[in-house]
Amino acid sequence: MPKGYWVSVYPTITDPEGLDVYNELAGRAVKAAGGRLLAGIGSRVVAHEAGIAERVVLIEFDSFEQAVAAYESAAYQQALAELPDGFERDFRIVEGID
């Protein structure tokens, strides 16, 4: 069964401290749903072409369905509600290649 991945790219972060509550809640929600952080805050990035080097977060789940369910969970929705106003990110759920 192919794994599932959350891929987030943050084009600009003007107030990193404004993400503290979201990061704490999201971390707990991801862990409770069986997700594993593969790359994230503090990871080095080399961007090419139109790439964004600000922050990239990569989270792995045992299946695509698990990744979708984690996003839709009440715990993660609570975390999303804590994102600051004007916050921008490019988020997607991707099915891995088995």
Closest CA to 38 of 98, 96, 79: 96
Tokens representing 88?
């921008």
pLDDT tens for 50-75 read: 777 778 899 999 999 999 999 999 99
Total of domains in the chain: 1
pLDDT tens for 7-51 read: 998 887 777 888 899 999 999 999 999 999 999 877 788 888 877
- CATH number at 67 reads 3.30.70.100
Which pTM value belongs to this model?
0.89
Q: How far apart are CA 76 and CA 33, in angstroms?
A: 9
Q: How far apart are CA 59 and CA 8, in angstroms?
A: 9
Range of the domain at 56: 4-95
Q: How far apart are CA 10 and CA 52, in angstroms?
A: 8
